[in-house]
Amino acid sequence: MDILSIVGFLAFGSLLLGAFLDGAHLAILIQPPAFLIVIPSTLLGVLGSMPAGKHPYIIKALKMVFSGSVVNPEKTKEELLEIATKARKEGILSLESTIDEIKDPLIKRGVNLLVLGMEEESIVSILEAELTKEEEELKIGVEYWKACAETSPTMGLTGAVFGLMHALTELNDPQKLADGISTAFVATVYGITTSYLIFGSWGRKSKLKLEMLVATGNMIIEGVRLIAKGENPRLIEERLSAYA
C-alpha cells in the first residue's frame, strides 16, 4: 500500500476543518443532487471517450496509485545480476531450471528467449515490443484519470447552473430558493475538490509510476541483452547502475 495515496485524502479533512472554523455547517455539503451531477457524470462521460474493452486498464492504473511498489529497480538489478552470474558460470541453458522462480514477467520472458537460443537482436526486439504494449495499455488508464480531473470542474459548473435555474423558478419560496442556491455552490465545490484532490492526484501518480515501470523495463531489456552477449557480470552491473 502506498501510504502517501491514503494520506492524500487528509486534504479533505483539512478542507472541511477550514470550512468549519470559518463557521460553515458541514452538513450542507451533503447534497445528493450535486453529487450525481458531478461525480457519476464525470466518470461515465469520460468513460464514453475510452476505446471499447479498454476499461480494465483504468482499474489497473488506479491499482498502481495505491500499490506499495509497482517496481523495485534495485531489486530488479540484483535479480538480473544473479541470472548473469549463473549464465556466465554454468551456461545459458542452466537458466532453464530457474525460470519458474522468476516473478517479473519481462525478466521471465527474456530468460525464456535466452534459453531458446534466440539472437540478441531478436530478443531485444521482442522485449521492447512487449514493454511498449504494456506502456500503451496503461497510458489509457492514466489518460482516463487525467481527463476526469479536467472534466469534473466543468461538471461542477454545470451543477451550479442547474441549481441556479431551479432557484430562479422558486423566487416566491425562500426555502426552495435557498436549496437551489446551496446545490449550485456545493456542485462547484464537488467539481473543484475532486479535480485537484482525487482525480488529478490519481492521474499524476499513475503517470509517475508508469514512467518508473518503463524505466525498469528498459533496464531489464539492457540486462538481458548483455547476458545474451555473454558479458562479464561486473560490466553488466556497471551498465545497469545507470538505471538503478
Cα gap 112→99, rounded to integer Å? 7
Cα gap 182→175, rounded to integer Å? 10
Q: Exposure pattern of 165-183 as b/e (b: 16+ CB <10 Å)? A: ebbeeeeeeeeebebbbbb
Residue 222 scores a pLDDT above 70: yes
Residue 127 scores a pLDDT above 90: yes
Backbone torsion region of residue 102, taken as left when φ is above 0, otherwise alpha when ψ lies between -120 and 50, otherwise beta: beta
Q: Domains of the chain: which residue ranges?
A: 3-240
Residue 149 scores a pLDDT above 80: yes
Q: Considering only CA atoms, which of 201, 207, 237, 205 is closest in space to residue 222?
A: 237
Cα gap 164→170, rounded to integer Å? 10
pLDDT at 22 (0 to 100): 65
Q: Considering only CA atoms, which of 194, 166, 164 is closest in space to residue 38?
A: 194
Place of cell 502517501: 4
SS3 category, 191: helix
Q: Using alpha carbons only, give the angle 234, 235, 237 rounded to the nearest 5 degrees.
A: 65
Cα gap 32→42, rounded to integer Å? 15
Residues 220 and 81: beta-carbon distance below 8 Å: no
> pLDDT by residue (tens digit) across 26-77?
667 778 888 898 999 999 999 998 888 888 999 999 988 888 666 788 999 9
pTM of the predicted protein model: 0.83
**Cβ neighbours of residue 80 under 8 Å, at least 6 residues apart?**
107, 219, 220, 223, 224, 227, 236, 240
**Cβ neighbours of residue 240 under 8 Å, at least 6 residues apart?**
77, 80, 81, 219, 222, 223
Percent of the chain with pLDDT over 90: 45
> pLDDT by residue (tens digit) across 162-211?
878 877 777 777 777 777 777 778 889 899 989 988 899 999 999 999 99
> pLDDT by residue (tens digit) across 79-124?
999 999 999 988 899 999 888 888 899 999 999 999 998 989 999 9
Element (H, E) at 208: helix 200-228
